Structure 1
């Protein structure tokens, strides 16, 4: 029987989330190979032993940190797309900012190996969450009536979502700041939403 009481869980969960947040920041700055458990412990403000109480290896920490980020990002995406008070283009921008925009300017010069590490350690997880993200965007596009507006042109909701995603990935690399990313995505979403706006104005 564990000595941990139910009242200890919230504090323990918060500590674990803080460790994963710190780890993700360090991984983005230094990459997988150059990141050490000591560096993550310092960033999180805990001892090396304290970090190892939660994560036995760097690989385990990386997997948990990526999963923690993806699940949090999907929650933010769902909230952005579900905000009925905002026009569709603003909801789309909020969703893509939550999923892609937060990475703009976050990668350090040593992070070049993150793509390989991600493929090897969390590839299927990323693919699954990415699929959920795309489906959420498609659902919002359909619910708004935008997919129906493009149907006469033979363009599907999946193609619309893929086009916005391509724009977001391009901006992630070309935008110097997160603000510039949001500005670029706002233009892309506004252009895509034009048929819906025109139909409403008729």
Structure 2
């Protein structure tokens, strides 16, 4: 009787050894260990190439040029890799958003730069993985909901902080930030033409800020 070939594992929680450095490392230690860089880079390549469900730890190890046991010295399983990668991508997006706010003088330009950083992340996934972007985004929302929530709150705080310096007395800077984020999420829903959402984002932010300027110069009309 011929032996059956081993089946390809597809579990999102494919597990490695329960002991070792990865089990003791806190969530914020990624930047302290340069060995995570090739693992996370390889994971991004594999996730965008195969999708999250079809990617195995063997795929990630092979792409990183490491043995599977070596990879498990730094991560616990595929879900751990995915969360670490998500955390890194979101942290970079927030850093880009902060840089955009600090590099511009006009409020509309500041807000546009910050929101473009958010939009670029989604565009990047669709450009790098047209076949799997929807899966990546849905898995991200399910597996890393807490990270997404923290990211959205941090982005909201950045936008509200910028808007709060110029909004009229009766305006709510946080609600204004929520409107901007909702508008951007709407643009992210249709990325079939990558240039269109960027153009609409810039135009939309200008309209939002024009509304603020009008309310500030005509306070009685906003009562």
- Rounded Cα–Cα distance in structure 1 between residues aligned with 2:100 and 2:61: 33
Per the TM alignment, residue 32 of structure 1 is displaced from its structure 2 partner at its CA by: 2.1
TM-score by length of 2: 0.68
TM-score by length of 1: 0.74
Spell out, residue by residue over 1:77-134, the C-alpha distance to the aligned partner (whole angstroms, 9 max, x if none).
1221222x44222221221122232221244323444455334432122212211111
2:172 corresponds to: 156
2:39 corresponds to: 19
Structure 1: runs of 5 or more not aligned: 3-10
2:56 corresponds to: 36
- Residue aligned with 1:193, SS: helix
1:99 corresponds to: 118
CA RMSD of aligned residues (A): 3.1
- When the two structures are aligned, how many residues end up with a matched partner? 186
1:156-195 equivalences under 5 Å are 156-195=172-211
- Rounded Cα–Cα distance in structure 1 between residues aligned with 2:64 and 2:185: 29
1:9-158 equivalences under 5 Å are 13-83=33-103, 85-104=104-123, 105-106=126-127, 107-143=129-165, 145=166, 147-148=167-168, 151=170, 155-158=171-174
1:6 corresponds to: none
Spell out, residue by residue over 1:119-150, the C-alpha distance to the aligned partner (whole angstroms, 9 max, x if none).
4432122212211111111111112x0x217x
User: Do the aligned partners of 2:93 and 2:121 also contact (CA within 8 Å) in 1?
Assistant: no
User: Do the aligned partners of 1:31 and 1:112 also contact (CA within 8 Å) in 2?
Assistant: no
- Rounded Cα–Cα distance in structure 2 between residues aligned with 1:82 and 1:157: 18
- Residue aligned with 1:53, SS: coil
Segments of 4+ in structure 1 off by > 6 A? Answer: none
Structure 2: runs of 5 or more not aligned: 1-20, 22-30, 218-223
